Structure 1
Amino acid sequence: MIKGLYEAHLPVKNLDFSIEFYKKLGLSLAWRDDDTAFFWIEEGKSWLGLWQGDEYQTPYHPSLRHIAFEVSYEDLKQSLRWLGSIQVEAVPFGRRTSIEPFIRPNQGNASVYFNDPDGNSLELICYVPIPDELKRITDKLSFEEWEKLIDNHNNH
């Protein structure tokens, strides 16, 4: 199921300063919000996530204990079944309560999360081609919601 490394993460103290630094290294800014930024390492294939914050204020900063593995879209759709078959439980992401895989239209990817035996955050993630007019959607969508939305979009 795992095809390669999708992303790595680093904590940063000042996101704006770090963005300028990584631009100087030749990385291309892919996406940012108030406290995170993602740079392409290899465009369309792998990226680096920068997370602004004081990692000492919390017992664990997600950027220090997280790896995302690249999988295919179809594999991600079957990920809960696969994880169950190897006795691994999926966990909700962030404030979500559902463990179901979900689509992030504004980022062009889909994910499901789980932990290793030491509590490190692991993710199965795939790229999802997003039409430009749907990239404004910031809600996280289930595969069912996404596929209905994309079918409606393609039929209009």
Structure 2
Amino acid sequence: MIKGLYETHIQVSNLENSIQFYTEVLGLKLAHMDETRPIAFLWIGDQKESMLGLWEQKENLQTRHFAFSADTNDILNYSVDFLKTKNLQPYNFMKNGSIQPMVFAWMPALAIYFNDPDGNQLEFISILEGVGKPELGVISYQEWMEKSSEMI
């Protein structure tokens, strides 16, 4: 019955600023803004594939985490530069100072993280081909490729 996740919602401190960030910086499209309450809905993808809801919360803001699907090639070759040109600080899951994407070997998936202006933790993620290897933990893409070639 379940085919995927269609939408998620997060709290933001300033709705106008967040709409600007998600549309102008990340390229999402404004779908609807409810004038009766401080909420906006943004399309993710060209075909109304999924939606992000932004709820303005002036007090007791609770930050969240979610991930955007991306192509492996884009994450490897463009994501870090893309984020830097948008004045966003990329970081990996380990938060060890490296800005290189990491592989969650159990899935396997390649990911890089960054934050929105309110501190919500955002991620670009791509599922990799192959069988997951949970025993490898979280490793660099290079390590994943070396281990993957050893498994063939």
Provide the TM-score with structure 2 as the length reference: 0.53
Tell me the matched-pair count.
Answer: 99
Deviation at 1:101, TM superposition (A): 0.7
Give the RMSD, CA atoms, in angstroms.
Answer: 3.2
Residue 113 of structure 2 corresponds to 113
Residue 66 of structure 2 corresponds to 67
Q: Distance in 2 between matches of 1:150 and 1:121?
A: 29
> 1:10-29 counterparts in 2 under 5 A?
none
Tell me which structure has the larger Cα radius of gyration: 2
Q: Which AA in structure 2 matches 1:148?
A: E
5+ residue gaps, structure 2, are: 10-49, 51-59
SS of the aligned residue for 1:137 comes to helix
Q: Which AA in structure 1 matches 2:66?
A: I
Contact 1:80 1:90 (8 Å CA) reproduced: yes
Deviation at 1:100, TM superposition (A): 1.7
> 1:48-59 counterparts in 2 under 5 A?
none
Contact 1:7 1:68 (8 Å CA) reproduced: no
Q: Distance in 2 between matches of 1:72 and 1:118?
A: 26
Residue 122 of structure 1 corresponds to 122
Detail structure 1 runs of 4+ shifted over 3 Å in the superposition: 5-9, 94-97
Residues 81-118 of structure 1: CA deviation (Å, up to 9, x unaligned): 22122222113435544332100111221211000111
Q: Distance in 1 between matches of 2:93 and 2:148?
A: 23
Residue 142 of structure 2 corresponds to 144
Give the % identical residues.
Answer: 32
Residue 100 of structure 1 corresponds to 100
Provide the TM-score with structure 1 as the length reference: 0.52
